Amino acid sequence: MKRVTQASVTVGGQQISAIGQGLCVLLGISLEDTQKELEHMARKILNLRVFEDESGKQWSKSVMDKQYEVLCVSQFTLQCILKGNKPDFHLAMPTEQAEGFYDSFLEQLRKVYRPELIKDGKFGAYMQVHIQNDGPVTIELESPAASASTSDPKQLSKLEKQQQRKEKTRTKGPSESSKERPTPRKEDCSASSGAEGDVSSEREP
């Protein structure tokens, strides 16, 4: 989460969303996140005191107190772990599930705060996110479930293996079926119709 003076999202050369002063939230959804976790994070973000008050006292007001805007951008790369020099994203929730969670998160923000002040990017799109960080101030927030799992190496390994199994299951169909497909047997030429190029020689007589 970044405190900003302005932020915007561009997709395909066209600006699709923009805010002035407020917060830019980069949201990475993990395998362990639930609806309860999203509600917790939404409340935390909206109530976190990262702005100054009228007298200039720092860390006194929340985005809701100041009636500022919030721009949310889905960013699965926040769930990255490194395998040597290569980033690995097995701990990120798969796209087909994550999109629903992302929409629920936005809905929760709009339920608690003024809907017209909550903006977002485009889920799954290749985006250019322009952020003018104010301060700079960047605060990393983790849901309780994510904090617990990433602090426990055994749990982390368990999550990785679970996701790897899911991915193998999703990709196994075509590759396995191609391996198990029987080799067409050769038939005697006399079994064909005699027409050149006829495929009946590969059928049962």
Is the separation of the CB atoms in 110 and 64 below 8 Å? no
Backbone angles phi, psi at 201, to 5 degrees: -65, -15
Strands 128-138 and 2-11: antiparallel
Query: Is 134 within 8 Å of 21 (Cβ atoms)?
Result: yes
CA dist 37 and 195 (Å) reads 68
What is the C-alpha separation between 119 and 71, in angstroms, rounded?
Answer: 5
Catalytic residue among 34, 77, 95, 171: 77
- Look up 95 and say whether it is catalytic: no
Distance CA 18, CA 7 (A): 6
In contact, 98 and 76? CB cutoff 8 Å: yes
For residue 15, the cross-strand partners are 10
Find out whether the peptide bond into 136 is cis, omega within 30 degrees of 0: yes
Distance between CA 24 and CA 139 in Å, rounded? 11
Cβ-contact 9, 18 below 8 angstroms: yes
Known catalytic residues?
77
